[in-house]
């Protein structure tokens, strides 16, 4: 049985809603559970449904999309859909999955959906069957028990690690592996000369860092947000 992901649309423009509804209907793995015209309707939809992905406009009356995301304690994967490019930095500082600038075509939408699916927290019934001691280390690699398998991850192949509530996802040069573990505990396990915490939700490989700008760091071609409280340490390591 193919995995299905629940989606809500949050946009105050009728034509934008209809376009997104049409795009969602073309992706077999997506299930539209609500279409909302403002942030307050979205809050109700999040409360009453299991939502995996939220397609969210930014400029809306009363409460903007950015303000909505900041107010949420438990967040689905979020794709901003907006006509305004100037909010991109603020959006990615919130660790959203993607930022679609209107007008966008279906291929670009589909690309964003695939990225968001990679950020969806596993459902309880699909969660990796792992224990708290799921990770062990050696000088050159760590081993991760997840989904009834034992994975060997070489430090040289590990690009970055993304925290998703009680789960972490290891992004490597070959694949992604999700396991039940706390990012703060991983920070203690990984060798500090090879990895650095850059955000409350991210640890990155120092070896694979390519550049750093005001709001994020590029790791092997991937943009990873940098939190304000971590920036000084990262700058010191890079100099």
* Average pLDDT of the chain, as a whole number: 86
Residue 120: closest CA among 226, 19, 30: 30
What pLDDT does 128 receive?
A: 41
**pLDDT at residue 2 is higher than 80:** no
Q: pLDDT per residue over 37-60, tens digit each?
A: 999 999 999 988 889 999 999 999
The separation between the first and the last C-alpha atoms of the chain, rounded to the nearest angstrom, is: 51
Instruction: Read off the pLDDT of each residue in 48-73 and give the average, rounded to a whole number.
Output: 91
- Examine the pLDDT at 135 and tell me if it is beyond 70: no
Q: What's the pLDDT score for residue 238?
A: 85
Instruction: Convert the pLDDT of each residue in 202-212 to its tens digit.
Output: 999 999 999 99
**55 in Cβ contact with 28 (< 8 Å):** no
Q: Which two tokens stand for residue 30?
A: 């997506």
Task: Walk me through the domains of the chain, giving residue ranges and CATH numbers.
Answer: 5-121 (3.40.50.2300), 128-238 (2.40.50.1020)
> Could you say which DSSP state residue 76 is in?
-
DSSP-H helix ranges across 146-227: 183-189
Is the pTM for the entire model greater than 0.75? no
Q: What are phi and psi of 41, to 5 degrees?
A: -65, -35
């Amino acid at each position: 049985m193919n995995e299905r992901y629940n989606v809500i649309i949050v946009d105050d423009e009728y034509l934008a809603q209809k376009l997104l509804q049409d795009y969602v209907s073309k992706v077999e793995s997506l299930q539209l559970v609500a279409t909302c015209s403002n942030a307050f309707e979205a809050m109700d939809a999040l409360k009453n449904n299991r939502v995996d992905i939220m397609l969210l406009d930014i400029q809306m009356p009363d409460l903007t999309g950015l303000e909505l995301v900041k107010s949420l304690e438990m967040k689905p994967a979020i794709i901003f859909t907006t006509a305004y490019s100037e909010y991109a930095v603020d959006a990615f500082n919130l660790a959203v999955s993607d930022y679609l600038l209107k007008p966008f075509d279906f291929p670009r939408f589909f690309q964003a959906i695939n990225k968001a699916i990679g950020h969806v927290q596993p459902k309880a019934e699909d969660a990796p069957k792992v224990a708290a001691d799921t990770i062990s280390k050696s000088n050159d690699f760590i081993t991760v028990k997840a989904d009834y398998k034992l994975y060997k991850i070489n430090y040289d192949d590990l690009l970055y690690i993304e925290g998703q509530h009680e789960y972490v996802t290891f992004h490597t040069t070959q694949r992604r592996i999700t396991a039940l573990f706390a990012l703060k505990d991983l920070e203690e396990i990984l060798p500090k000369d090879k990895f650095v915490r850059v955000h409350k939700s991210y640890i990155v490989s120092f070896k694979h860092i390519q550049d750093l700008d005001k709001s994020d760091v590029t790791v092997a071609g991937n943009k990873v947000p940098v939190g304000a409280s971590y920036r000084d340490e990262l700058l010191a390591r890079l100099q």
